[in-house]
Structure 1
Amino acid sequence: MNLDFSVIVPSMPYILKGIFVTLQIVGLSALLGFAWGIVLALFKISRIKPLNWIGDAYTSVFRGTPLVLQLLIIYFGLPQILGTNISPYVAAVAAFSLNSGAYISEVIRAGINAIDKGQREAAIALGVPYSKMMKDIILPQAFKNILPALMNEFITLTKESAIVTVIGVGDVMRRSYQVGADYYRYFEPLLFAGLIYYSLVMILTLLGKWVEGRMRRSD
């Protein structure tokens, strides 16, 4: 076996800097995807049929096509239509947000539907406006039920963020690949990148369990 991790030690700080890029993309995409997922979920449970169709069609398209395809369409395809270039960072956040919103909308929709209908009927009987009912009564309860699923989506997003390397974003994966090209040794830097991603996922997993435990104790 021709392995020598000491060769990449000087380049490890360079690879580690990619963590901040990865977390920036994942964090912003998760927030935007969550907000967009709430909107789509409300579309799907709306009594207005066109909104139902829009929500279902959107989810069908973004769940039925590869994420990397969506990323490439936004980065390479949209400039052809818009007549202006899109930065790799903006393209990555846009693609991940739009894709994540589709998955999160299904999670939120299921969480809302799991709430006892009697609570909605009681709120309506008391004259509580729909928006206030959703914001103060339904969504907080649904959020507690769907927290594990949301954390799984966040973890998946963290791992899938590695595909931004195809459009040149300097994340962990891109930097490890560049180090491999510099030394003509790919196994060591890529394995180091894998360790970084695994550590991030474990941290998120523990954080999710901690938050879930706190929410259970607050019931």
Structure 2
Amino acid sequence: MPDAILSQLIGAAKQAGFNYAFINDGYESGIWAEGLLTTLEIAGLTIPISLLVGVLLSAAITSRRNWLALPARSFIELTRNTPTLIQLYCAFLVLNMLISNALQGAEHNPLTPFAWVVGVLALHIGAFHAEAFRAGIEAVPGVTTEAALSLGFSQRAIFWRITLPLAFRFSLPSLVNNLVNLLKLTTLGSAIAVGEVTYASIMIWTQHDNVLELMILLLLFFSALAYGLARAGHWLENRLRIPGYDVG
């Protein structure tokens, strides 16, 4: 956007009582743009990792092996029933300190605050994914797996090649809802000074007292992001719709 037009928009906003002068400041606008990028990076990494965690946990809790099912179920219940912020603090302030001590100093610890945010959010949302996948697995008709057994498929092959692909389609609406929640949880990075968009906004409004203006931008940004993800999920539901089932 040309500088003249941008200046006119900022001036018009100022006349209406909104202070968006930081956009014309190269340093502060750079901080905010970097915060946007960091938020997208957190979401981009956490989404696939959380889905993988969900698949592995769902495989464990639906397993007939108690040594797999019981620890997985315990982890899911603990994760789902405790606040995400508390989990992040426990990981970063306790586990991270223990790791640093074991490695003879924080300078030797390869785990950054960014890595802890991605890891904690992936595990947290992965626990919710696991329940969605479990419901999807239980929705797969028994005759389908019986037919696969009669054709000589092993239990492992049935799960990965038949049950899981069908379960993914059944559980897709719940998975999309979990991922929308994940987008909102990226703001927790600000609690441990990860420079995502919320943290960047806090840094700016402490200098200019323009909390309202930045909160409006944050609401618009996350609303657009969540809407885009929801629409993509709806498209995928229709794309993967199973003939004969009321899915999508």
Q: TM-score range by the shorter chain?
A: over 0.9
The reply on whether 1:207 has 2:232 as its aligned counterpart is yes
- Structure 2: 5+ residue stretches without partners: 1-15
Which amino acid in 2 is paired with 1:41?
Answer: S
CA deviation vs aligned residue, 1:111-166 (integer Å, no higher than 9, x gap): 00000011112212222022221121111111111111111111100011101101
CA deviation vs aligned residue, 1:73-128 (integer Å, no higher than 9, x gap): 11111133222443111110110111111111000010000000111122122220
Distance 1:162 1:127 in 2: 49
1 or 2 for the larger relative contact order (CA 8 Å, sep ≥6)?
1
CA contact (8 A) 2:18 2:213 kept: yes
RMSD: 2.0
Distance 2:75 2:192 in 1: 24
CA contact (8 A) 2:61 2:73 kept: yes
> Aligned residue for 2:67?
50
The reply on whether 1:61 has 2:78 as its aligned counterpart is yes
Which amino acid in 2 is paired with 1:121?
Answer: E
> Aligned residue for 2:182?
157
Distance 1:12 1:205 in 2: 28
SS in 2 for 1:46: coil
Which amino acid in 1 is paired with 2:187?
Answer: A
The reply on whether 1:15 has 2:32 as its aligned counterpart is yes
CA deviation vs aligned residue, 1:42-82 (integer Å, no higher than 9, x gap): 11111112222112101111011110111111111113322
Query: Which has the higher mean CA deviation after the structures are superposed, 144-153 or 7-16?
Result: 7-16
Distance 1:126 1:197, change over 3 A: same
> Aligned residue for 2:195?
170
Distance 1:126 1:201 in 2: 43
Distance 2:128 2:215 in 1: 29
Q: How does 1:9-158 map to 2 (within 5 A)?
A: 9-10=23-24, 11-12=28-29, 14-82=31-99, 83=101, 84=106, 85=109, 86-158=111-183
> Aligned residue for 1:3?
17
The number of equivalent residue pairs is 219
Among residues 204, 210, 219, which one is paired with 1:194 in the alignment? 219
Aligned-residue sequence identity (percent) comes to 27
Which amino acid in 2 is paired with 1:148?
Answer: P
4+ residue stretches of structure 1 with deviation over 6 A?
none
Which amino acid in 2 is paired with 1:3?
Answer: G
CA contact (8 A) 1:151 1:208 kept: yes
Distance 1:211 1:52 in 2: 30
Distance 1:8 1:146 in 2: 43
TM-score by length of 1: 0.92
- Give 1:217 shift: 8.0
SS in 1 for 2:194: coil
Distance 1:15 1:217 in 2: 43
Which amino acid in 2 is paired with 1:195?
Answer: L
